[in-house]
Structures are given as C-alpha cells and as structure tokens.
Amino acid sequence: MGAILCGAGSNLAPGTKKIETSSKAIFYGAVMIEKFAKFMLENDKVAVWLNVELIEVKEGYAKIAMIVREDMLNAAGICQGGAIFSFADFAFALASNSYGKVALAVSANINFANPAFKDEKLVAEAKELNRTRRTGLYQIEVRKEENNQLVALFTGQVFIKDKEILP
C-alpha cells in the first residue's frame, strides 16, 4: 500500500493525486490509505481537538505532529500527560488500523522522559513491532521536532477483529 504525504509539496510521485480536506492539502498514493486516513481524520474527535497533522501513514506505520497549546498545559505549565498519551494513542490507532481491519487496544503504557511546553511541535512515530492474525504490538516515540528530544515512549497491543474499519 502507498503512503500519505502531507504538507506543501510540488514534486509529486507519478500517479499521486491532490485532495483538499478542511483547509489542508493532503497527498495520497493508494486509494485505500486515502479512504482510511480521511475516515480517521473525520471520525476521531480527540485527534480533531488535538489538531493533529498527518505526516505519513502506511501499513503498520504512522507519523503525525501537533503543536502544544495553552489549553493542553497542566498546573505546572507543561503539557498534560493525558494530551501526550492521546496524541501517541492516535498514532497507534493509525498504524494498527492501517491494514483495514478494526484493531482495538487491549493494553497501552506510556513513560514520560522530558516535558513539553506551549508552542513546541511534537512528532509521534508509530512502528509495528509484531503482527499476527489476531494481535499487534506497537511502539510509539513522541519527540520534540526542534531538537529530536524524547518526550514519551508509548507501547500498545491491539486485538484485531474481522470487521473492516471503513463503513
């Protein structure tokens, strides 16, 4: 399957088409990944609230970004752990559901390494470590875009259903 490449770009691979969603231009390679990404962007309300930007999605892999906003800060003035968890969880959802079957988390764990502050851009990269017919294991690193500093390490396991993710 192809990958989603998002953002401004004039050098598109042959056969790639440009589609406008919201006010952002998104470039897709494969039809199923296109439908999947659009479905996830439109239906994951937490990702919408986080204002997640898709960088790349392919089978078993996702890379996304977000900017820490004031409404994401805790009383100590740093990004709330729940916001970081939700951000990593969306990358996890993209990677684990990217094959087209519903994949639901059965466990998830996060370790926080460094704080994130207002206006910092965070990047989450989800990688599939193992996948069988019924389970998948994923690791998601959340890093600061500016200096690549690790903010959090998230691991998650999914149960894969027979049901298709797309309606």
At residue 55's C-alpha, the angle toward residues 105 and 100, to 5°, is 40
Domain count, the chain: 1
Q: What is the model's pLDDT at position 33?
A: 83
pLDDT of residue 30: 62
Angstrom distance (rounded) from CA 110 to CA 153: 6
Low-confidence spans in the chain with pLDDT less than 70: 1-30
Residues of the domain holding 72: 4-164
What are the residues facing 105 on neighbouring strands?
Answer: 158
Q: What pLDDT is recorded for position 22?
A: 34
| Region class of 35: left (phi > 0), else alpha (psi between -120 and 50), else beta | alpha
pLDDT at 107: 98
User: CATH code at 124?
Assistant: 3.10.129.10
pLDDT digits (tens, 9 = 90+) for 29-64: 467 887 888 899 889 999 999 999 999 999 999 999
Number of other CB atoms surrounding residue 132 within 10 Å: 8
State the pLDDT at residue 19. 33
Q: How far apart are CA 116 and CA 122, in angstroms?
A: 8
Per the CB < 8 A criterion, the answer to whether 112 and 151 are in contact is yes
pLDDT on residue 20:
34
Q: What is the pLDDT of residue 31?
A: 72
pLDDT at site 110: 98
